[in-house]
Amino acid sequence: MIKFYTTSDGNICQADEPSDGCWISVVAPTPQEVMELIETYGLDSGFVKSSLDEEESSRIEREDNQTLIIIDTPMSSVDDDDTQSFYTQPMGIILTEKYVFTISIAETHILTEAASGRIRNLRPSFRTRFVLQLLLRIAALFLTYLKQIDKISSAAEQQLHDAMKNELLMQLLALEKSLVYFSTSLKANEATIEKIFRGRVIKLYEEDQDLLEDVLIEMKQAIEMASIYTGILSSMMDGFSSVISNNLNVVMWRLTIVTVILEIPNIIFSFYGINTVDLPLPFTWFPITLAVLLMVVVSYLLIKTKKK
């Protein structure tokens, strides 16, 4: 799908046709639309294909009069078993002499916010500033999702204190995997932003320096938060593994006590049930009383030993 956006009275609005300085949003394009981007708008075919590659890493590249910026954007999803996970998806930003293109394989939260006007003072005609504002919003969204991960892990930790459920453990594993994705993508994004900061690929204006510094600060903060949360979640998983192992030992100990106690009357009744002479007090009440007495004594000794 190809959509065109321009600025009217300081606000982003959708247009029917492209105009100089407009933003062209491309989401999940068909093969025909890909050919249109290459043939009609003259985009480099390699740039378009890289923007639609799920495995493409963050980078910046310039070819002739076109500049490609591939940036990883954070995404969120919920599985059928209500396990929430986070991942990243590459988005290509292509700057030409007339237009700014954003190309992605699926709709992202960033593009939705930009198209709806929720990003303030977003003007595609100021191409450099437009790109920096998108990068700043992406960094902010990383921070937002990292805070969500922290809240989910904290809630799961409280529930795990009460009950060791497989669903909660799977949620923690999904969060741990999400943090690995975030850490890898954030480091690649940081390298791309630092290349932009040098001003060799994209022309930077003096009024954009502060915005670019904010983008870099936000990205570094997200990297630090991801590293901290990864360490916390890893320690938490190790701790709960020990708790689960200890709980299993407790269960096995209780089963052992039950097995030993139930074996006592079986042994006594076996002696009195065979044809053996000279057994003391060969009456029904005696083996029953003896079995109960021994069960109480053994139970007391086992429990006392366990407490020590």
Task: Count other Cβ atoms within 10 Å, centred on residue 131.
Answer: 24
pLDDT greater at residue 159 or residue 189 = 189
Q: 282 to each of 62, 121, 127, how far by Cα in Å?
A: 101, 99, 102
Q: 72 to each of 26, 54, 75, 131, 184, how far by Cα in Å?
A: 16, 10, 10, 14, 10
**pLDDT 10s digits, 101-137:** 999 998 888 888 888 888 888 888 888 888 889 999 9
Q: Which residues contact 130 (CB under 8 A, 6 or more apart)?
A: 23, 100, 122, 123, 124
Residue 250 has pLDDT above 70, yes or no: yes
pLDDT band at 144 (very low <50, low <70, confident <90, very high): very high
Which two tokens mark 128?
């450099």
Measured between alpha carbons, how far is 209 from 42 in angstroms, rounded to an integer? 30
Measured between alpha carbons, how far is 201 from 212 in angstroms, rounded to an integer? 14
**pLDDT 10s digits, 253-265:** 888 888 888 888 8
Which two tokens mark 219?
């990205």
pLDDT at 145: 92
Mean pLDDT computed over 45-62 = 89
Residue 26 has pLDDT above 90, yes or no: yes
Asked if 101 and 44 touch (Cβ cutoff 8 Å), the reply is no
Residue 244 CA, distance from chain mean position: 24
Measured between alpha carbons, how far is 224 from 230 in angstroms, rounded to an integer? 10
Least confident of 41-45, 141-145, 266-270: 266-270
Mean pLDDT computed over 45-66 = 88
Q: Pick from 136, 231, 251: which is nearest to 179 by CA?
A: 231
Q: Pick from 225, 59, 257: which is nearest to 142 by CA?
A: 225
**pLDDT 10s digits, 194-217:** 888 876 677 777 777 888 888 889
8-state DSSP, 228: H
Q: 296 to each of 237, 272, 301, how far by Cα in Å?
A: 40, 20, 9
Q: What angle do CA 137, 140, 145 make, to 5 degrees?
A: 125
What ranges make up the beta strands (E) of 147-218? none
pLDDT at 156: 77
Residue 164 has pLDDT above 70, yes or no: no
Average pLDDT over the chain reads: 83
Q: 63 to each of 43, 101, 139, how far by Cα in Å?
A: 10, 15, 26
pLDDT at 249: 81
Residue 91 has pLDDT above 90, yes or no: yes
Measured between alpha carbons, how far is 55 from 111 in angstroms, rounded to an integer? 20
Residue 281 has pLDDT above 90, yes or no: no
Q: Is the dihedral of CA 240, 245, 246, 248 positive or negative?
A: positive
Domain annotation for the chain: domains and CATH numbers: 2-246 (3.30.460.20), 249-307 (no CATH)
